[in-house]
């Protein structure tokens, strides 16, 4: 739970934002070099966890990394949501020499210098992101994300390069997903059909099943079982608070 700074520091400079698209299986989405998953554009949206691929039916508004830890006893965080990551490389996609999947991507970004977040206190981490997608019917419904997180230190002289080691204690990794169930590219991001009639739930108690139209009145036999409250999910619903 503690990241120690490696002995060597790799010199890197911030590059332009870049992205590629996985369109090889049943799940299509955008991969970026600044921690964003999907496309959060309000108009003319590109694939953003579209399922089935090619339908334009999107289930994700935006996903980002959230990293947290203590530096000298003070809690700090870096979130893609607040543009606190900056790209260090383009997004490279390989469909010819890929080893693990039919389609693979590679990129990296860090929080040492984030032009879009001037007041941010960096943790001093660099993230290597790889994604894997397949076309086979048995593996086409998902995309795997792999993250390698390095403690590279912080920049103290303003050249965007890490030059000073920094210890991070109690380091935590998280992914924030802002899902919508669901929307087409021609619909607005904030719309009664896009997200305002969605229901978000967690299974802290089994009575949530009664809110699912398919399960209402169904004798599932789970009422007396201990619920695992770690699962969070969404469903498209005629939300009583919105006219849809």
**Domain edges within the chain:** 2-180, 196-244
**Using CA atoms, how far apart are residues 179 and 63, in angstroms rounded to an integer?**
8
For the ranges 3-12, 91-100, 115-124, 142-151, the lowest mean pLDDT is seen at 3-12
- Top-ranked range on mean pLDDT: pick from 4-13, 143-152, 200-209, 234-243: 143-152
Listed range (118-127, 170-179, 216-225) with the worst mean pLDDT: 216-225
With 50 as the cut, is the pLDDT of residue 50 above it? yes
pLDDT at 1 exceeding the cut of 50:
no
Residue 12, pLDDT above cutoff 60: no
What percentage of the chain has pLDDT greater than the value 90? 57
Once rounded to an integer, what is the mean pLDDT over residues 17-35?
Answer: 97
How confident is residue 244, by pLDDT bands cut at 50, 70 and 90? Answer: very low
**Mean predicted lDDT score pLDDT of the chain:** 85
CA 133 to chain centre: 16
Q: Which long-range contacts (CB under 8 A, 24 or more apart) does 90-94 make?
A: 90/15, 90/18, 90/33, 91/18, 91/19, 91/20, 91/31, 91/32, 91/33, 92/20, 93/20, 93/31
Q: How far apart are CA 80 and CA 65, in angstroms?
A: 5
pLDDT at 181 over 90: no
Please determine, for residue 37, whether its predicted confidence score (pLDDT) is greater than 90.
yes
pTM (whole model) above 0.85 = no
Portion of the chain with pLDDT greater than 70, in percent: 77
Give the number of other CB atoms < 10 A from CB of residue 180: 24
């Amino acid at each position: 739970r503690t990241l120690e700074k490696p002995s060597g520091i790799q010199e890197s400079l911030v590059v332009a934002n870049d992205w590629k698209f996985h369109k090889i299986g049943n799940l299509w989405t955008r991969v970026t070099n600044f921690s964003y998953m999907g496309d959060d554009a309000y108009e003319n949206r590109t694939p953003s966890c579209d399922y089935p691929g090619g339908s334009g039916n999107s289930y994700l508004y935006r996903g980002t990394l959230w990293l947290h830890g203590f530096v000298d006893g003070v809690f700090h965080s870096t979130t893609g949501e607040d543009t606190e990551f900056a790209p260090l490389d383009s997004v490279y996609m390989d469909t010819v020499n890929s080893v693990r999947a039919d389609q693979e991507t590679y990129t990296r970004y860090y929080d040492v210098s984030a032009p879009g977040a001037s007041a941010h206190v960096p943790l001093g981490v660099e993230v290597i992101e790889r994604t894997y997608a397949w076309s086979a019917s048995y593996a086409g419904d998902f995309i795997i994300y792999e993250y390698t997180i390095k403690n590279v230190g912080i920049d103290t002289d303003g050249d965007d390069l890490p030059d000073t080691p920094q210890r991070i204690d109690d380091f935590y990794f998280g992914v924030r997903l802002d899902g919508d169930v669901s929307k087409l590219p021609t619909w607005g991001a904030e719309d009664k059909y896009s997200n305002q009639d969605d229901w978000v739930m967690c299974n802290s108690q089994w009575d949530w099943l009664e809110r699912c139209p398919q399960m209402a009145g169904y004798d599932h036999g789970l009422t007396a079982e201990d619920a695992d409250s770690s699962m969070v999910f969404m469903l498209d619903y005629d939300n009583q608070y919105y006219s849809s």
